[in-house]
Amino acid sequence: MKHEPVHQGRLKSPFHSRLESLDTVNEWHQWKGYSSADQLYCSDTEYFAIRNATGVFDLTPMTKYRITGPDALDYLNRLVTRDMAKVRPGRVAYAVWCDDNGQVIDDGTIFHLREGEYRLCSQERHFAWLKAATLGFDVTITHETEDVAALAVQGPTSYSVLSKMNLEGLEELKPFGLMHFDFEGSELMISRTGFTGDLGYELWIDPDKAEALWDALFEAGELHGIRAIGTTALNMARIEAGYLAAYEEFLPADETIRTGVSRSPLELGLDWLVDFKKPNFNGRRALAEEKRNGSAWRLVKLDIEGNKEAHHSYIFSNAKARGGQIGFVTSAVWSPVCKQNIALGTVNTPHGKPGDTVWVEIYYQREMHWNRKMAKATVVDKPFWFPPRRGATPPGPY
Amino acid sequence: MTDKYDAIVVGAGHNGLVCSALLAKAGKNVLVLEANDQVGGAAVTREFAAGYSASACAHLLYQLQPEVRKELKLAPKLATEDMTTIALAEDGPHLRITGDQVEGVSDDDAEQYRRFRKRMTRFADLLRTYFNKPPPRLGTKNFKDLLTLAQLGFDIRRLGKEEMQEFLRLIGMNIHDEVTERFDSPLLKGAISLDAVLGTHLGPRSPNTIMTYLYRQAGDHGRASVPHGGMGAISDELAHAARSAGATIRTNMPVKRIVVDNGRVTGVETEGGETFSSYTVISNADPKRTIMDLVGAKHIETGFGRRIHHLRARGNAAKLHLALDGLPSIKGLDKKDFGQRIVIAGDEHYVERAFNPAKYGEFSPHPVIEMTFPSFRDESLAPTGKHVMSAVVQYAPYGLKDGWDDAAKEAFKQVVITTIAKYAPDIEQRITASELLTPADIESEFHITGGHWHHAELTLDQFLFVRPVNGAAQYALPIDGLFLCGAGAHPGGGVSGAAGRNAARTILRREKAA
């Protein structure tokens, strides 16, 4: 029996050579076994590439599963809370999946690649759960993270960049749509999806063609301000877009030890993703009960006064902190593009309704000395960043 | 054709019959659908050779709960009562156990046995109380659950400090350690070990075999009896009770599926294509068959399906029936002894060694055997002057490595007969017909997944609060209107009626609360 050699140490993405050649700071972290850049030169500059031009992020380490077989649709419909029957071939769905207790295991995107053939993408690995869920379904789950190289191409000029790459029909691609193209004899799948809340695309290709795709992309983008970006810049953008991140806004329920530390979709503002009209899906009974009895937590988007970032702050219902804390901040950033001090947080109900005023306790350091500030914050309903170009089809040139 | 019922019971096993009788008594319009041509499930009397009948699976009655007897006014006619257990010795005197008395051992052993029985009886009585109510759920704020839990804690505490410590020490322990600590007599150690492992996929050194021993005592304190007419007589009496209360029982009606619509049951469909409607369906089938085959994994949630899928339910007990042209002769036994329970379990190591091959998918070359000659006191089972032997034989693993084909069955049957012949040399000449039911046969003929006595292994991780699995321990399955009432539910198998009664009471109480 022939054994594949076991890879020692961190994996390198098929784009690694290109990232490495652009890298000037050597700041990397580990993401599901891969080296992934925090930043390549300056996270602020990289951030502005996303908001003003085009940022390119290597999302190869993103977990990818291929789901095929006659029962693929029924399987997914039982797995996730939304109705997948409405997601036609060539469409992508943001989805969340729960355990039997209605607690979120992870969120991600499901690509309906072709009739009955799906790809599920998420930050975390879930093979054990997905496999357990196949019981009684004629469906095959294939882990294909290493078999697909992927890039996020995000920002106002992203369409202009890609339009130079001879991708016929791309202008018709609507948000949450996907198309297949030929790239040097390989299939290039492009979806109009992303994690930045702006106009943007994700490119999916055979790892052998990864470097060629990168080179073609950067050549096309040269006059459109294209830049490679790292995770720090991307994270700023995703907070502005109000997107959730596992281990920030929620813990994967199957990783928790204590009760009460996981979150349901209803507690994460994802009510719109839970379709109780479906007869059965994981968590349905528990979520129906939660809907009847009320949730314990609510995810809030906070517009905070001042400019001190509210990392890990406690949230209070009043400036005097009477009655104890009602929650805490999960992600915070000063938003350069919105010129706002923003945060995502989790608070106990009934607090945190849109329009409510809450107070966040911010600790910040100035010349070694710590300072405390109670900052007033308003709960807002809409994402902080939601430009009209994100939804425009065809997207305009920039 | 669509008929509407208050409740449909899938399977007329003894628990299904108890449940339907109690529901019918409460005024419910109940339909019972049984796949086989006779009621009783694994508690039936079948003719296995022309003129010869035997209790097909269960052949001794020792757990029928007094509550069930009382509520359904059962008065089974018994052919034999309060049987003595005779443990056969290859040479020398056999051992005789009746109640807390044991003959054929040293005075020390006899005294130790008396003390052992006293303690076990006390613990078994404690368990029995909880066998007759739904187990409390853990981690809920439900008042009734908390009350039952508190009561359980209190009852254990009330045993007294020393006995409580003993209870908590023993409940997870294996029987081997306990018998080797207490007794000298190998036969006695073997006979107790056998009692602890009968009907399970466990050896005397497996964990919690003291619990399985206690389980057997939690009825009539381990006193075994044989109903006149075999175990089927009990089922017939239960069916009569159900019918008199107004239940409809239809045999030869295998259920193909339990119909689920939008998260709740709406009825059942039979193999013959008939549908019957009801918003309450109670399954007497085992949990795996109920969920995986009859309901379908699609209708349940992933975590629950995974737990059901991983239930351990691999039977290891075979049943051998012999038609004999006369009683065999067993050295050292009088004729009247054939009315008793006779066991072959040499010593405590013999039982464990018998179990060893079963772990690897092989049957025991030297099996442990529990024999009865029911025709000795009951002439209805065999032609005049002829006899029937009914034996439980271990170990015969459900998942035999090369499968239970005819050759494997023949080989195992020969092994069993050879084993018996060591004590009864003329047995082979007396045999005129025989029937061996392996767990695989029990699965196909009685529709029990894995052919397991208890529908699901009787171990602490599948017991009480978590039987059959977490999320279904109070008879209700996580589909509205669907319930379990068989051995797979709390407390477990054996002809006790406890699961059927508890299920019926749960359903009636829920209805009242709604």
Q: Where are the alpha helices (DSSP H) in B348-405?
A: 348-359
Give the Å distances, CA to CA, from B337 to A120, B95, B385, B456, B475. Answer: 69, 12, 17, 34, 42
CA proximity to B176, closest of B349, B344, B317, B357? B349
Query: Which of B261, B298, B304 minimises the CB distance to A100?
Result: B304
Burial (Cβ within 10 Å: 0-12, 13-18, ≥19) of residue B31: buried
Contact of B301 with chain A, judged by CB distance below 8 Å, is answered with yes
Higher pLDDT, B222 or B21: B21
Give the integer Cα–Cα distance in Å for B107 and B225. 28
Q: How far is B290 from chain A (nearest CA, A)?
A: 13
Q: How far is A300 from chain B (nearest CA, A)?
A: 29
Strand partners, B78: B227
Question: In chain A, what residues touch B260 (CB-CB under 8 Å)?
Answer: 279
Query: Which pLDDT score is estimated for B509?
Result: 93
CA B323 to chain centre: 24
> What is the pLDDT confidence band of residue B2, given thresholds at 50, 70 and 90?
low
What does the pLDDT average to over B180-188?
A: 96
Same fold: B2-43+231-311+448-513 with B45-229+317-395+401-437: no
CA A253 to chain centre: 17
* Domain ranges for chain B: 2-43+231-311+448-513, 45-229+317-395+401-437
Interface test with A, best of B301, B306, B307, B311 (most A CBs within 10 A): B301
Q: Do A135 and B297 touch (CB under 8 A)?
A: yes
DSSP A320: T
Nearest CA in chain A to B309: A135
CATH no., domain B2-43+231-311+448-513: 3.50.50.60
Please report the sign of the dihedral spanned by the C-alpha atoms of residue A239, residue A242, residue A243, residue A244.
positive
Q: Are strands B281-283 and A178-183 parallel, antiparallel or unpaired?
A: unpaired
Q: Do B301 and A136 touch (CB under 8 A)?
A: no
Q: Do A100 and B298 touch (CB under 8 A)?
A: no
Class of domain B45-229+317-395+401-437: alpha beta
pLDDT digits (tens, 9 = 90+) for B453-495: 999 999 999 998 899 998 888 999 999 999 999 999 999 999 9
CA B317 to chain centre: 11
**Is residue B1 over pLDDT 70?**
no
What does the pLDDT average to over B79-83?
A: 93
Interface test with B, best of A280, A287, A289, A293 (most B CBs within 10 A): A280
Nearest CA in chain B to A137: B298
CA proximity to B42, closest of B226, B191, B212, B230? B230
Question: In chain A, what residues touch B477 (CB-CB under 8 Å)?
Answer: none
Give the integer Cα–Cα distance in Å for A350 and A347. 8
8 Å CB contact between B310 and B292: no
- Which of A40-49, B215-224, B257-266, B344-353 is predicted least confidently? B215-224
Contact of B309 with chain A, judged by CB distance below 8 Å, is answered with yes
Q: How far is A323 from chain B (nearest CA, A)?
A: 26
Contact of B292 with chain A, judged by CB distance below 8 Å, is answered with yes
Contact of A102 with chain B, judged by CB distance below 8 Å, is answered with no
Looking at this protein, which amino acid is placed at residue B507? I
Q: Which two tokens stand for residue B298?
A: 């699609």
All structural domains of chain A, each given as residue ranges with its CATH number in brackets, are: 16-60+148-229 (3.30.1360.120), 296-383 (2.40.30.110)
CA proximity to B489, closest of B212, B284, B261, B326? B284
Q: Which two tokens stand for residue A68?
A: 């095929």
CA proximity to A384, closest of A210, A205, A196, A154? A196
Question: In chain B, what residues touch A284 (CB-CB under 8 Å)?
Answer: 263, 301
Contact of A83 with chain B, judged by CB distance below 8 Å, is answered with no
Give the Å distances, CA to CA, from A204 to A141, A153, A183, B334, B370. Answer: 19, 11, 11, 85, 67
Question: In chain B, what residues touch A135 (CB-CB under 8 Å)?
Answer: 292, 297, 302, 305-306, 309
Contact of B140 with chain A, judged by CB distance below 8 Å, is answered with no
> What is the pLDDT confidence band of residue B66, given thresholds at 50, 70 and 90?
very high
8 Å CB contact between B184 and B96: no
CA proximity to B468, closest of B307, B303, B352, B320? B307
> What is the pLDDT confidence band of residue B386, given thresholds at 50, 70 and 90?
very high
Question: In chain B, what residues touch A101 (CB-CB under 8 Å)?
Answer: 303
What does the pLDDT average to over B362-371?
A: 98
Q: Do B298 and A74 touch (CB under 8 A)?
A: yes
Give the integer Cα–Cα distance in Å for B297 and B282. 18
Query: Which of B263, B305, B478 minimises the CB distance to A135?
Result: B305
Mean pLDDT in each 10-residue stretch from start to end of chain A (398 residues)?
76 97 97 96 97 97 97 97 98 98 97 97 95 96 97 97 95 97 97 97 98 98 97 98 96 93 97 96 96 97 97 95 94 97 98 96 96 97 95 89
Higher pLDDT, B214 or B464: B214
